Amino acid sequence: MKELKILLSSEKNTLDLGKSISTCLTEGLLIFLKGDLGAGKTTLARGLINGLGYSGSVKSPTYSLIEQYEFDNFTLNHFDLYRFSSPDEWVSSGFQEYITSCNITLIEWPEKSYGFLPKPDLEIKLLYKNQGRASFIDSFTPKGNKCLENL
């Protein structure tokens, strides 16, 4: 397991971290985005998705639960499980089927479905620090390690 700590003193830093991660993604990567309300999870996802070349607006999936982005060779699925009322909604919603060996998956509020989600390759935690944020990036798989090495 590897861990990186990066200070993010402004929204732009969070967007830039997402952009950097977008350059070292590999097929099928599953990323958990953790942190309190307003910590910057969607902002990081926005930097990542725009970094992949999507030029439209990246909306928070808080109400829709999922936002999908189609790229040439894969789909990126961005989930926000905050509104789940029970952890097994992950199963009843059929969302597990969206995780494939080639799609990229981002999940905000994975805590809402612990016990039902697969192990992530990377977990990014955002913490409030002064006016900015601190980010901690952990990898749990060889695929995740490879991504972090290139970050």
Ligand X SMILES: Nc1ncnc2c1ncn2[C@@H]1O[C@H](COP(=O)(O)OP(=O)(O)OP(=O)(O)O)[C@@H](O)[C@H]1O
For 51, residues 6+ apart whose C-beta sits below 8 A from its C-beta are 18, 19, 20, 21, 22, 23
104-108 vs 75-80, strand pairing mode = parallel
37 touches ligand X (CB under 6 A): yes
Total of residues contacting Mg ion (CB under 5 A):
4
Task: Work out what residue 132 binds among ligand X, Mg ion, none; the CB cut-off runs from 5 to 8 Å by kind.
Answer: ligand X
For 143, residues 6+ apart whose C-beta sits below 8 A from its C-beta are 26, 28, 29, 121
Residue from 14, 50, 77, 113 touching ligand X (CB under 6 A): that is 14
Nearer to ligand X, 60 or 93 (CB): 60
Scanning 4-12, 21-29, 84-92, 105-113 for contacts with Mg ion by CB under 5 A, the matching segment is 105-113
121 touches ligand X (CB under 6 A): no
CB 138 within 8 Å of CB 123: yes
11 touches ligand X (CB under 6 A): yes
